[in-house]
Structure 1
Amino acid sequence: MTRPVGEGPQRRTVIGAGLGTAAALAAGLSAAPPADAAPAAGTGRVPDWHRYVQGPPGRAVRPVAVAASGGDVTRPEALLARGGAVTVLRRPGPTPPPAWPAGTTAAASSSHAPNNGSDGSPRSYEADNAVDGDTGTFWNDDTFGAYPDTLTVTAPAAVTLSGVTVLSNSDGVPVDFTVETWDGAAWHTAATVTGNSAVQRPVPFTEPVSTTSVRVNVTADQGTPQGEFTRINELWPGLVATVEAPTVTVDFGKVVVGYPRVRFAWASDNSPGVRLAFSETRQYLSDRSDFARSDLSGGGPGTDQYAVPAGGADWTDTDGFQADGKVHAEGLHGFRYLKITLDALPGDAPAAQAHGEVAIDSVELEFTAYLGRPETFAGWFLSSDDDLNRYWYAAAYTNELATDTFRASDVDPRNADTATLEGKLVLHDGAKRDRDPYVGDIAVSGRTTYLTHHDASAAARNVLADLADHQRADGWIPPASIVNYTLPLFDYPLWWVTCSWDYVLYTGDLDYAARYYPNLLKVLDTWYPSVTDSQGLLSKGLNSTGNYGDYAFLPRTGQVTYYNVNYVQALSDAARIARSLGHPADADRWTLRAAAVTEAVNTHLWDPSAGAYLDSTTGAVRHGQDGNSIAVTSGVAGPERAGAALDYLESATRRPYGNAFMDNDTIFDGASQRVYAFTSYPELVARFETGRAESAIDEIKRLYGWMDQHDPGTTHWEGIGPDGSPYEGAFTSMAHGWSTGVLPVLTNQLLGARPESPGFATWSVRPHPGTVAWAAGRLPTPHGPLGVSWRAGADAFALTVAAPRGTRGEITVPTGGRTVTVRVDGRTAWTGTRAKAYRARSEDGYVVLSDVGSGTHTITVRPLD
């Protein structure tokens, strides 16, 4: 994804002191810059990088605040600490509701077909469920958001009503509806309700009515991840007052992931139920979790249940039933907010009751993800810009949340469980969902891992190897284990190639490369040629791929720029693997094919009227961030087209919360308002490497600043939608590894250090400072740490590199567009016109120093004029 193109002149102001500090930082000898280093704004000194680390101090994580409480709750703050006072929730037993006379019937405009519940038992959704006296059954319409949905209840004789009460499900609450009564000849509106959110809603009439029939007409429903449904459990003939369920919401301060644990001190002897609802944001916190695994496997209550014994309990929320087919919990959750309510599902009676008393001693989480502490960071980053520092460590934490053991009980329930990954460390896509290792996500999260916690690099290898082991006979490689490795994505086999090179490049694991080289040959020489058209371009639709998706399941077909420039990158990366393994003929063949595809892309997919690459030659004219950015980073776009394309994206896709991934809405409504950090990452790389460091930093601050400043804070979202909202509402993963590209871009591009051959045997350092005054960092390598620090000023640029033994590299320093002298370790390497050492040469506003050996080297750049 990254090929340097060169950077133009930069000018900035000196902040800070001499090169001794830079040398210590680069060598990795100091965890933080000493007092004479460049000060962080407003503090007078540079902060220790350790203070930016977001991971918890240990596996037991406790909430930091009580966000809300309601109903009869005593001492809610006691939940924050174990021992001493307890939090008590109390709820009186219910008053029996009124019942319709015997012989009452119900009919509906539609009813959902029967299916099996989450416990496997059959259930129906007929209208009669609304008058059967069983609050655990309900009528469910079958119109998927088409209105009105009508429920009609008919009694055998006239009844006098002062109103009715609608009891619904939390995932099917009618929002807008009318209640009508029948006078024997016509229907009359007795009440109108708008904006309802209550599960139990008393609806009074303006005056008592004698009637044989009541009709509820629903015209709006609140919607759920499964769609818009009306669900009415009971329509009671009278007004039933609601007794507020006691509830406490605790805030863990940021998104966490693992198994919730609640210590109950005691309870009343009627098995009072407790329901737990989880959410990553306050916006989607309700009586129902923002996401539950059952949402993807037939639906469920959306909360975890527990019946508290009278003697109390130390309960860890794990997947399964507490009683025989009753009182179910889902176990692991990713969330920030936890809502605890004294309540029970009607269907869980008598194992759990919705009333009584419960005393809670404490709440905590058994954190399951990678525990990132300062001592586990093999790589780090620090700069003069506090925002960038926070975003780097927030990305590290986001990725840590997605680095976890693959467990059948916790992964995507859509047939993603696989024995070949069970118990292994993997890179999931998100903490909350989907919790399945997708190879496209690893294109970003893998690099984040290699630059932070090198000991976790096996998480990427485990996934890459497993997907290769499940390669289809025709060469196609699955994107993930979901649906038994059959999810048809067109682009992800390309990401497998690129991710494999990344893994080898950062770790030096050539054994992996040799073991899976046959898979590489098969995907590039068998499957992708089968979807290549007569013009030499990948064309989705060939070889029965019309229904294949991609990273965003976009409905695009034919010659798509994104697929083809990704193909160029994959071919180039495969050639590097081939050369590393001693297969020059394969490398040459793939290099030639990459050049041919490059020519075809530039011939058929460039739009001169926009100065950008088309998204596709099929359908409406639009221009994508993905294709245009990777056209630059893969080298498909030459300098002129690279600059034009990036200028176009800046003018057409700029939003307050990042750059949109499409320039118009022709692919779907709202596309031009949607931002993916996944596709923003290559754009950021492209901007840095084409001399647009300032615009890259501006985009970082809009995108990552928006996520940092909006709930849940810290972690990086799966996607951003119109007005900066989570792009798929409550379903959105708010801690997603594919959105952590700010970390590798700050290390590889802004700081400027990266590997050039497997295992950092050779490396390069090419800073792109932009508006940043100084930066320092360390990259983990198999040979030991590679340390880099630099300080940029109007009159000098100072750089220190500490390279591990047995490695060599290339150092490129900016000249600011002026004639400069370059000294290495106090000796002149470039006089301003000619080389004195390191085969120094001037190139596009830089001076390049070749074949720099191991050890600590200090480079100073000073203008001659």
Structure 2
Amino acid sequence: MTSRQHDDDPAARSGPARRAVLAAGAAGAAVGAVALGPFSGTAFAARPGHPGRPPHPAQGAGAWHRYVQGPSSRTVRPARVLPDATTGDVRDADALLKPGGRPAVLTRPRPAAPPAWPDGTTAEASSAHAPNGGNDGNPRTYDAKNAIDGDPDTFWNDDTQGAYPDTLTITLPAAHTLPGVTVLSNADGVPTAFTVDTWDGGAWQRAATVTGNTAVQRPVPFAAPVTTTAVRITVTADQATPQGEFTRVNEVWPDVVPVVEPPSVTVDFGKVVVGYPRVRFAYASGNNPGVRLAFSESTKFLTTRSDFTRGDQAGDPGHGTDQFAVPAKGAEWRDDHRGYQAGDDASAPDKVYADGLHGFRYLRITLDALASDAPAAQPWGTVAVDSVSLDFTAYVGTPESYGGWFLSSDDELNRYWYAAAYTNELVTDHFRRDDVDPRNAYSPTLDGKLVLHDGAKRDRDPYVGDLAVSARTLYLTHVDAAEAARNVLADLADHQRADGWIPPASINNYTLPLFDYPLWWVTCSWDYVLYTGDRAYAAAYYPHLLKVLDTWYPSVTDSAGLLSKGLNGTSGYGDYAFLGRTGRVTYYNANYVQALKDAASLAGFLGHTSDAARWRDRADAVAKAVNAHLWDEAAGAYLDSATGAVRHAQDGNSIAITAGVADADRAGSALDHLDATTKTRYGNAFMDNDTLFGGASQRVYAFTSYPELVARFRTGRADSAIDQIRRTYGWMASHDPGITHWEGIGPGGSLYEDAYTSCAHGWSTGVLPALTNQLLGAVPTAPGFAEWAVRPCPPASLSWAEGQLPTPHGPLTVRWDREDGGGLTLTVHAPHGTRGSVAVPVDGAATRVRAGRTVVWDGRRARVKGVSGDGSYVTVTGLGPGTHTFTTGR
């Protein structure tokens, strides 16, 4: 850990840094003040011994602290060695868990040179992938000759993408007798089914058939030796890879070469972690033995290559692993540099490549080296490994760092809340050149700043759409790190295009064209101001808000007042999932309504009343147009798009409810439709059919599930919200890698993009704000929590819930309990400098509500000023700082 990283560590900040955040919030505390009601400053104390008292974090240490997942320090060590994953000659593998003692020793004899084809042998293929290059400037060629060049680091890559068969034909200069062949492939391009034919001078003859292959090195013996001048390999099936279906054959050897497993040992860190791996080597043989490190978030994709490296997106000099050449005297190697390592051979600087930072759960260390790395690294010898650890680079969330917390009578919900917090901590990190998405995402304006990346392992770029969820999660857990959201929002606004469009992220030098993300920038900006009270940010970026809402979005608005993708050259624009949607799309327009309302609130905060009124009017007009043009009466739900096949999406229907586009009848009907068409055992799918793309009705995004959860809580369907939470987050918690929340879930509950999937993604943490803001019921209603509201949504399955929200004025704590007689006790403790309202859930109009000993609602009408009821809630307004306890009963 560098000194700069330590100084900037949000978990270590105190004093002036924290006071700056609080001062920013206090700046807006007096804005929009209203006369307080009769409960101003009144503290209704909880009954003696009653569990509804507002707990201080220290009082909850024995209860909620045990759920916290963050490491106790920045040095993180593996939890166990996977015995079934150990291969070859490995002694004392468990020693990796006990640094300073006897080391684990990996030994591999010098392998014999593989057989070579006679000089003059040629190779052709029915297809070959076109060359490409990465940011390192090294061109890649994938043609057939790579399969016979004697270099296992190069390969033939077909170009069929699943349209098999595909053939590789090897022609010899003269007849040669073969006992068989050996096919050496890439871990991400293994042919699972293929045949081998030989040429008898007049026709091809079948020599072997292989099915169900999973081996990278596959010996294929013939029934009897064959004398031939040509060999043809026909691939009929391949494994699925993150990039599509390809065959990648590195070498075909003209003999049967037995597989000799290189020595490897795999350690498990117990959950996804992120940072710089550190390996301490005690000693090694004198031949520069190499090690290759493969990382994976799940055992399913734990192979001889990493599930993901940045090289996968920018050329692949490391061939899917990180390399190190171990000196004879040993070394402590910190894998913190993306690029070539000099090793012991300074004359060969372009060898021994490492990828640097990784997000992973499992780490496999193998005594091996790329053929191209000789002599700087050799694939044989002896390596003694004393210890393995990780220098954790992300936010270290400890019980002491949490400004907000949650606890309930349901252990599963508690675990999901803290799993979300930990997932978000993994993506709260500093922006560094070597660690971010290599697709031109590096930006000097973000360098060294704390940001919210999208994922821990990939893409590691701050996307504003992800902030719509991850920033709320951050504000409710570690508000002292709110600068991570501000840094992103400000930087994207600073790169606003001349026509008003705001980029979604720094990727592609801030040019990735997304249609929906400028709307998320508006909503996320209001969220940031609402939770922190940062008036300076609001004022500085208000002109950008004007430009995106009054210039760019009007340029893509049709005659009905609806956003229409395709106008003003936007047909090629994507969205959060790069979906091929065009024309009037409910999701875009419901988001537009929400953004206009949020912009109006921010304008009101700054005193721009005419702008606020204009945006509210436009929001109303767009909402009416959505209901007029995009409501499908037959289905009882909003259309995904007015163009093309009829389908109904989770995103548009949910946000239409949360943004207030849908009235109560439409909201209930839309949720009924989602219940009937999108339920799976691993959550609710984001489309109700497959007309957009195959498998859409089986794909679950926690990102778009979050607004559906909010919609269910807000419409009185708390039990269905809890059911959806259990199916979505319960599935991820019970499947490898466990704990952290996935970018997406695919058919059957799989990782939706196989190994490429990020298993720790900030946009999937919506269960946390849903439980705090909706189930517990506490939200800010004016910037910096100057005003707040508490409106719990207790599901039948819970007997109590409590928690704390960090605010610039101090903690806001809430607890509700169900009483044995069917009543409910709700206790709120509000900090000084704030005021708010409490909506107490009631079971029908006949329920009485007391504030302390005072009856404020007699079951029919209010008994004091500032109280109202609607049959579901009795709302008490004008509450000031202090403790307020309300009870219900007949």
TM-score normalised by the chain length of structure 1: 0.94
Structure 1 pair 114/450, CA: closer, same or farther in 2 (3 Å)?
closer
Deviation at 1:230, TM superposition (A): 2.6
2:849 paired with 1:822: yes
In structure 2, the partner of 1:10 is none
Structure 1 pair 312/398, CA: closer, same or farther in 2 (3 Å)?
same
Query: Any idea what the Cα deviations from partners look like across 1:759-816, whole Å, max 9, x if unmatched?
Result: 1111001111112110111100011100111102343211111100111111110111
In structure 1, the partner of 2:651 is 626
Q: Which amino acid aligns with 1:614?
A: L
Deviation at 1:235, TM superposition (A): 2.0
| Alpha-carbon distance in 1 for matches of 2:594, 2:56 | 33
| Alpha-carbon distance in 2 for matches of 1:226, 1:191 | 29
2:489 paired with 1:470: no
| Alpha-carbon distance in 2 for matches of 1:674, 1:241 | 42
Structure 1 pair 219/307, CA: closer, same or farther in 2 (3 Å)?
same
In structure 2, the partner of 1:313 is 331
Q: 2:226 aligns with which of 209, 218, 233?
A: 209
Deviation at 1:96, TM superposition (A): 2.3
Q: 1:604 aligns with which of 623, 626, 629?
A: 629
Q: Which amino acid aligns with 1:795?
A: G
Q: Which amino acid aligns with 2:362?
A: Y
| Alpha-carbon distance in 1 for matches of 2:140, 2:794 | 63
In structure 2, the partner of 1:43 is none
| Alpha-carbon distance in 1 for matches of 2:228, 2:785 | 83
Instruction: Report the secondary structure of 2:669's partner residue.
Output: helix
Deviation at 1:29, TM superposition (A): 6.0
- Contact 2:710 / 2:770 at 8 angstroms: preserved in 1? yes
| Alpha-carbon distance in 2 for matches of 1:21, 1:477 | 54
Q: 2:116 aligns with which of 77, 92, 99?
A: 99
Deviation at 1:75, TM superposition (A): 1.0
| Alpha-carbon distance in 2 for matches of 1:393, 1:577 | 31
| Alpha-carbon distance in 2 for matches of 1:439, 1:311 | 48
In structure 1, the partner of 2:530 is 505
Q: Which amino acid aligns with 1:59?
A: R
Deviation at 1:129, TM superposition (A): 3.0
In structure 2, the partner of 1:776 is 802
Q: Which amino acid aligns with 2:56?
A: G
In structure 1, the partner of 2:449 is 424
2:812 paired with 1:786: yes
Query: Any idea what the Cα deviations from partners look like across 1:476-505, whole Å, max 9, x if unmatched?
Result: 111100101111111110000000000000
Deviation at 1:858, TM superposition (A): 1.2
Structure 1 pair 492/245, CA: closer, same or farther in 2 (3 Å)?
same
- Contact 2:685 / 2:701 at 8 angstroms: preserved in 1? yes
Q: Which amino acid aligns with 2:805?
A: L
Instruction: Report the secondary structure of 1:240's partner residue.
Output: coil
In structure 1, the partner of 2:880 is 853
Q: Which has the higher mean CA deviation after the structures are superposed, 267-276 or 192-201? A: 192-201
- Contact 2:279 / 2:389 at 8 angstroms: preserved in 1? yes
- Contact 2:52 / 2:825 at 8 angstroms: preserved in 1? no
In structure 1, the partner of 2:206 is 189
Instruction: Report the secondary structure of 2:54's partner residue.
Output: helix
Deviation at 1:269, TM superposition (A): 0.7
| Alpha-carbon distance in 2 for matches of 1:569, 1:121 | 46
- Contact 1:73 / 1:90 at 8 angstroms: preserved in 2? yes
2:341 paired with 1:322: yes
In structure 2, the partner of 1:36 is none
Structure 1 pair 703/122, CA: closer, same or farther in 2 (3 Å)?
closer
In structure 2, the partner of 1:801 is 828
Q: Which amino acid aligns with 1:405?
A: H
Aligned-pair RMSD on alpha carbons? Answer: 1.6
| Alpha-carbon distance in 1 for matches of 2:285, 2:53 | 60
Aligned residues: 834
In structure 1, the partner of 2:6 is none
Structure 1 pair 170/795, CA: closer, same or farther in 2 (3 Å)?
closer
Structure 1 pair 374/143, CA: closer, same or farther in 2 (3 Å)?
same
2:745 paired with 1:720: yes
| Alpha-carbon distance in 2 for matches of 1:340, 1:215 | 35
Structure 1 pair 725/719, CA: closer, same or farther in 2 (3 Å)?
same
| Alpha-carbon distance in 1 for matches of 2:554, 2:144 | 55
Deviation at 1:117, TM superposition (A): 6.7
Instruction: Report the secondary structure of 1:215's partner residue.
Output: strand
Q: Which has the higher mean CA deviation after the structures are superposed, 110-119 or 196-205? A: 110-119
Q: Which amino acid aligns with 2:74?
A: R
- Contact 1:75 / 1:88 at 8 angstroms: preserved in 2? yes
In structure 2, the partner of 1:170 is 187
Q: 2:247 aligns with which of 230, 251, 270?
A: 230
In structure 2, the partner of 1:285 is 302
Written as runs of structure 1 = structure 2, the 5 A alignment for 1:458-497 is 458-497=483-522
- Contact 1:23 / 1:800 at 8 angstroms: preserved in 2? no
Q: Which amino acid aligns with 1:634?
A: A
| Alpha-carbon distance in 2 for matches of 1:387, 1:725 | 21
Instruction: Report the secondary structure of 1:251's partner residue.
Output: strand
Deviation at 1:149, TM superposition (A): 2.4
| Alpha-carbon distance in 1 for matches of 2:582, 2:157 | 37
Structure 1 pair 111/620, CA: closer, same or farther in 2 (3 Å)?
closer
Q: 2:372 aligns with which of 347, 364, 376?
A: 347
Written as runs of structure 1 = structure 2, the 5 A alignment for 1:101-116 is 101-116=118-133
Query: Any idea what the Cα deviations from partners look like across 1:687-726, whole Å, max 9, x if unmatched?
Result: 1111111111111111111111111110011111111111
Instruction: Report the secondary structure of 2:352's partner residue.
Output: strand
| Alpha-carbon distance in 2 for matches of 1:399, 1:654 | 26
Deviation at 1:133, TM superposition (A): 2.9
Query: Any idea what the Cα deviations from partners look like across 1:241-283, whole Å, max 9, x if unmatched?
Result: 2211111111100000000000001111111110111110111
Structure 1 pair 726/212, CA: closer, same or farther in 2 (3 Å)?
same
In structure 1, the partner of 2:262 is 245
What stretches of structure 1 of length at least 5 have no aligned partner?
1-17, 34-46
| Alpha-carbon distance in 1 for matches of 2:223, 2:556 | 68
